[in-house]
Structure 1
Amino acid sequence: MSDEHQHTTDEVVERDDAFDRSSDEDTYYEGGRRRKKRGVSGCLAVLVAVAVLVGGFYLAVTRGVDWVSDQFSSAEDYPGPGRGSVTFEVQEGDTTAEMGRNLKADGVVASVQSFLDAAAAEPDAAGIQVGFYGMKKEMAAEDALEVLLDPANQVKATVTVPEGMRVEDVVELLGQETDFGAAKWRRALTQDIGLPDYAEGNPEGYLFPATYEIGPKDKPKDVLTAMVDRWRQAAEDAGLEEAAAELGKTPAELMIIASLIEAEGRGDDMPKISRVIFNRLDGPGDKGGTNGLLQIDASVNYGLDQELGVALTTEQLQQDTPYNTYTRPGLPPTPIEAPGDAAIAAAANPEEGDWYYYVTVNLKTGETKFAETYDEFLTYKDEFTEYCTTSDAC
C-alpha cells in the first residue's frame, strides 16, 4: 500500500471516528462552529413548554371571559321583599357605585350591578340625600333604590327646642325625647361643645333653640355641639361681635341682654325692649330712669331657681341674689335662657327711642305699650289692671 493511499485511509478513519464521537456527544459542526443537535428529547421539551403556555393562556382567557360575563350578563338580584332590618348610611360624597358596594356589603342587595342598573333607569337617582335609612336584607335592587329616594325613610329622631328654655329645661327635654337619659346629656355638657371663650364654660344661653335631627350614630356631645354651632350662625348673622364693639358692650353682655329680651318680649316689640334695657343701663335718671336697675322679673326667678314666668312676691323681690335686677344695678352675671334669632338680632340692633318702661296691656294679643316717663308708665299700668278685671287671662 502506498503512502498516499495509507494517508487517505487514515483520514477516512479519523473522519469516521469524528462522526462517531459527534454522535456520542450529540453535536455536529456547521460553519466551523460547534452546534447542539436537536434530538427527539429536545423537541419534546419544546412541545411541553408550548402546551404549558397554551394551557395557562386558556385558563387566563377563561377566567377573563367569566369576569366579563359577570360584569355584563344579567346582574344577580334578590326577588325581595327582604327580611329583617338594616340601618344603612348614605355619607356625604357617596357615588352611586359606592352606595351599591355598601348595600351589597350590608346584605341589602345581591350585587353592585343590580343596584347600578336600577339607578340608571331612575332619573332622580342623583337626588339621594345623606342620612340613615331603614332597609331590609335581601331586597330587590329597585326596591332598595326606592327607599333611598324618599327622605321620609330616614331613621332619625326629631327634637324641637323652643326659645326661652334654660339649660336645665333643655337637658330634661332631650332626655325625654331621645334614647339618652338626662344624666348623659349633663355629662356631655362638661365636654368641649364649641362654646365661645367669653361664655367661660357656661352653656346657658348658647344651646340655640331650633329643630334638630338626631341620627342613629349621634351622641349627646354631637347634638350639643350642633346646637352651639347653630347659635354661632345666629350670632354671625346678627353681627353680634361687631355690634358689641359699637354699643360699648362685650359679646357676652349682648348675649345676656338677648336672653332678657327673649324673656320679656315678642315679635316687633323686641328691638324696643332692647332699647329700654340699654336706656336703663346707660341712660340718665332725669327722665324717671331706674338708676341702672333693670327690674326684670324673669332674672329674679332665675336666681331663685324658679320657672321664669312665675309671679313674684314682695319678699322674693327683696331676696338678694346675683340675678335680682331689683336690688342690683346692671346686668345679671350670665344669660338666663336661650334666645332665638329675633332676640339676638334685637340685642345687636336696639331701636332708637327714649323709653324706660313697658307694660303688656293685653296678655292674649301681647300688645305692649312703651313709656318714657314714670307717670306715663303708671297710666299704662292702670290700663293693664283694668284689663285684668274683665279678662280671665290674668
Structure 2
Amino acid sequence: MSHRYPEYPAMAEPEYEPGQRQAEELPVGQFFTEPAEAPTRRSQRPSREKQRRRRRRTIVMVVVLALFAGVVFGLTMFLRDLLGMNEIKDYEGAGNGSVAFTVAEGDGPLLIGGKLEAEDIVATSKEFVNAFTAQSDGREIQPGTYEMKYQMSSSAAVDALLGDGSGQVHYAAVARDLRQGEVFEILNTSTRIPLSEFQALAANPQQFGLPEQAVSLEGYLHPGEYRFDVEMTAEEIVKEMTANTFAQLEEAGITDPAEQYRILTKASIIQAEAGEADYATVAGSIENRLGPNNTETNGLIQSDATVTYGLDRKSYELTPEEKADKSNPYNTYANPGLPVGPIGSPSREAIDAAANPADVPYFYWVTVNLDSGETKFSSTLAEHAKYVQEYQDWCGTQKPGRCG
C-alpha cells in the first residue's frame, strides 16, 4: 500500500564560504518527538497509600487545631483568674437563709473574714476586711454567736457583727432525748449564764406552768436549735423552751395539764426506747401494758431506760437487785404504771406517737441491732426471749462496752 505525502516547495541549498565545513545534518529526532502516552483512568486515581496519607494529614491538622484552641482557652481563663476577672468580689444585699456564725475569743478581722468566706456568708475575705476597715470606726467584733445569712454583702456582714444589723445571739443546739442536766450544760456553754441559775429555776417548775406533780423541768425543755438574744436571762430562755413543749402538746390535741404530763412522760420513754420508725408501735405496746386487762406484764412497763434514769446513769445493764428495787420511783420493773415523770426531752414525733399510739397486739419489744436500730416486737414472753437472745448474740460480736 502506497502512502502519499504532501509536497513541499523546494528549498535552495545554502551557500558556504570557501573552506567552511558544511554543518552536519541534525537528526530528525531533534525536531519531532513521539507524543506522550495518554494517561489511563487508573493512573488518574490517587493510590490507596496517598489516600491514607491525606487522611492522616487531615486528622493531625484537626487535632492540632483542637489542641491550639484548648491552649488558647486555658490561657485566657488563667489570665482572667490572674487578673481577677472571674472572681465574684462581693455579694449584693442582705443575703438569704439563716446561719449561726461563731466568733471565737481572739479572732481578728482577717480570720473572721476567712471563716465567713468558707461558709459562703461573704464572697471574699478581702472585701470583708476592706468593709470592716471602712465601717468599724475603731470598734471590735465581740466573741459570740451571730445570726447571719448566706451570701451577704461584706458591708451587711460587718453591720451584723458590729451590732448595726441583726443582733448578736447565743446559739444552742439541744438534741432530743437529753436529760435536764445535759440541757443546762449546753445552755451554760452557749450563753455563759451560770449553771446554778438554771438549776434554781428547775427547783420551782410550776412557775413555768407545769402541773403540781412535776418535780423538775425534765421533759419540758423542748429539743431544737435555738438562737437566744444575748440580752435574754435564764428565766426567759427556759420560758421559751417550755412554751415550745406546750405548743407541741396542744398541736397533738392534748390540752389538759395532767394528761399533758402523762403523754410527755410516755413520750420520753418512747424517745429513749425506740427509733423514730418504731415510735407508734412502741407507743401501742406501752399502752397495752398500761391497760387494765393486761395479764401479760400486769401493768409493768419494764423499761431499762427508766430504771437507769432513776439510778442517774445511762446504761442498759441492770442487776437483778436494781430491777427489784421498789424505792427507785423510776423503776418500771418493780412499780406498775408510768414512772413519776419524764426521763428526757422528747421530740415532736415522739409526742405525736404517745398521743396517737398504734393499735398493735404487742407487749414486748427489743432492739436487736443497735447499729441499724432494728426492733422486733412480740406478744408473748417466750417469743420475746428469742429476740433478746438475738440481741445478746449481736452484742457478743461487738467491742466491750458497746451494749453496756
TM score, norm. by length of structure 1: 0.59
Structure 1 residue 290 corresponds to structure 2 residue 345:
no
Q: Indicate the residue corresponding to 2:265 in structure 1.
A: 256
Structure 1 residue 336 corresponds to structure 2 residue 343:
yes
Change (3 A) 1:312 1:356: same
Shift of 1:240: 2.2
TM score, norm. by length of structure 2: 0.57
State the Cα deviation string for residues 309-359 of structure 1 (Å, max 9, x = none).
Answer: 342122222222211111111111111111111111110000111100011
Q: Is the 8 A contact 2:364 2:378 kept in 1?
A: yes
Q: Indicate the residue corresponding to 1:237 in structure 2.
A: 251
Q: Is the 8 A contact 1:189 1:224 kept in 2?
A: no
Q: Indicate the residue corresponding to 2:45 in structure 1.
A: none
Shift of 1:271: 0.6
Structure 1: distance between partners of 2:374 and 2:185: 32
Q: Is the 8 A contact 2:302 2:332 kept in 1?
A: yes
Q: Indicate the residue corresponding to 1:218 in structure 2.
A: 232
Change (3 A) 1:201 1:283: closer
Structure 2: distance between partners of 1:79 and 1:293: 69
Change (3 A) 1:85 1:304: same
Structure 1 residue 276 corresponds to structure 2 residue 276:
no
> Which one of the candidate residues 155, 167, 170 is aligned to 1:157?
170
* Structure 1: gaps spanning 5 or more residues: 1-77, 88-123, 137-143
SS in structure 2 opposite 1:390? coil
Shift of 1:206: 0.6
Q: Is the 8 A contact 1:195 1:206 kept in 2?
A: no
Q: Indicate the residue corresponding to 1:358 in structure 2.
A: 365
SS in structure 2 opposite 1:176? helix
How much identity, in percent, do the aligned residues show?
A: 31
Who wins on radius of gyration, i.e. which is larger? 2
Shift of 1:188: 3.4
> Which one of the candidate residues 308, 311, 314 is aligned to 2:317?
311
SS in structure 1 opposite 2:255? helix
Q: Is the 8 A contact 1:271 1:349 kept in 2?
A: yes
Q: Is the 8 A contact 2:215 2:341 kept in 1?
A: no
Q: Is the 8 A contact 2:177 2:344 kept in 1?
A: yes
With 352-361 and 379-388 compared, the bigger mean Cα shift is at: 379-388
State the Cα deviation string for residues 76-126 of structure 1 (Å, max 9, x = none).
Answer: xx9745222589xxxxxxxxxxxxxxxxxxxxxxxxxxxxxxxxxxxx99x
Change (3 A) 1:81 1:259: closer
SS in structure 2 opposite 1:305? coil
* Structure 2: gaps spanning 5 or more residues: 1-132, 143-151
Q: Indicate the residue corresponding to 2:201 in structure 1.
A: 188
Q: Is the 8 A contact 1:359 1:370 kept in 2?
A: yes
One-letter amino acid of the counterpart of residue 135, structure 1: L
Structure 1 residue 323 corresponds to structure 2 residue 337:
no
Change (3 A) 1:226 1:199: farther
Q: Is the 8 A contact 2:191 2:230 kept in 1?
A: no
Q: Is the 8 A contact 2:222 2:347 kept in 1?
A: yes
Change (3 A) 1:252 1:233: same
Shift of 1:187: 2.5
> Which one of the candidate residues 209, 219, 237 is aligned to 2:223?
209
Structure 1: distance between partners of 2:211 and 2:385: 42
Structure 1: distance between partners of 2:303 and 2:379: 17
Shift of 1:134: 3.1
One-letter amino acid of the counterpart of residue 388, structure 1: C
Number of corresponding residues: 255
Structure 2: distance between partners of 1:233 and 1:328: 31
Alignment of 1:70-109 (within 5 A): 80-85=135-140
One-letter amino acid of the counterpart of residue 232, structure 1: F
Q: Indicate the residue corresponding to 1:390 in structure 2.
A: 397
Shift of 1:199: 5.5
> Which one of the candidate residues 372, 375, 381 is aligned to 1:368?
375
SS in structure 1 opposite 2:235? helix
One-letter amino acid of the counterpart of residue 391, structure 2: F
Structure 2: distance between partners of 1:210 and 1:79: 38
- Which structure shows the higher helix fraction? 1
Shift of 1:194: 2.7
State the Cα deviation string for residues 129-175 of structure 1 (Å, max 9, x = none).
Answer: xxx94328xxxxxxx6xxx3xx6xx4112111111122122122222
SS in structure 1 opposite 2:368? strand
Structure 1: distance between partners of 2:136 and 2:303: 62
Change (3 A) 1:218 1:263: same
Change (3 A) 1:86 1:364: closer
Q: Indicate the residue corresponding to 1:168 in structure 2.
A: 181
Q: Is the 8 A contact 2:222 2:345 kept in 1?
A: yes
Structure 1: distance between partners of 2:294 and 2:134: 82
State the Cα deviation string for residues 171-201 of structure 1 (Å, max 9, x = none).
Answer: 2222223211211222333567533335646
